[in-house]
């Protein structure tokens, strides 16, 4: 259990978390620029510009490559993991968001005369556009490269 305290010595993890935090912070800035008001929920929500998931997994993969080598199985695993996460963010989760938007519209139209039907709305902003994933991934790469490897 004493070794758990050493998690803060993991440079690769800290850089990946930093990339994710920067991406989440940028989401709040983008929301402010778009709507003219500060939306603190953007700091903790999924979806939006840039993709924090993509920034996180890209920084993780690059950090592993920098630290243990680009030819290692660890880098291969992290890269495959990153590709799956980014594909999911831009594909499956975006499709689920579109389906939620349609279902919410159907509920609004069918049950507007019956206010007793008071279901929570489905979350519509789940995934990312491919551009949001690309920007998030680029951000993760930049943060990881600027932070450098921990030797």
Each residue's pLDDT tens digit in the chain (151 positions)? 567 878 888 999 999 999 999 999 999 998 889 888 888 887 787 778 899 999 999 999 999 999 999 999 999 999 999 999 998 888 776 667 677 777 777 777 766 766 665 566 666 656 678 899 999 999 999 999 999 776 5
pTM for this prediction: 0.77
- Cβ atoms within 10 Å, residue 100: 16
How far is residue 62 CA from its own chain's centroid?
16
């Amino acid at each position: 259990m004493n070794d758990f305290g050493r998690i803060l010595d993991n440079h690769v993890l800290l850089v990946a978390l930093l990339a994710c935090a920067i991406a989440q912070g940028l989401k709040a800035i983008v929301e402010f620029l778009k709507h003219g008001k500060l939306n603190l929920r953007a700091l903790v929500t999924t979806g939006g510009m840039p993709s924090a998931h993509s920034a996180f997994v890209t920084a993780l993969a690059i950090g592993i490559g920098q630290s243990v080598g680009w030819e290692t199985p660890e880098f291969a695993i992290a890269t495959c993991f990153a590709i799956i996460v980014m594909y999911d963010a831009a594909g499956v989760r975006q499709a689920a968001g579109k389906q939620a938007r349609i279902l919410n519209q159907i509920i609004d139209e069918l049950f507007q005369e019956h206010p007793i039907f008071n279901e929570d709305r489905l979350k519509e902003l789940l995934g990312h556009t491919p551009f949001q994933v690309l920007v998030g991934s680029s951000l993760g790469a930049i943060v990881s490269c600027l932070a450098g490897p921990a030797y």
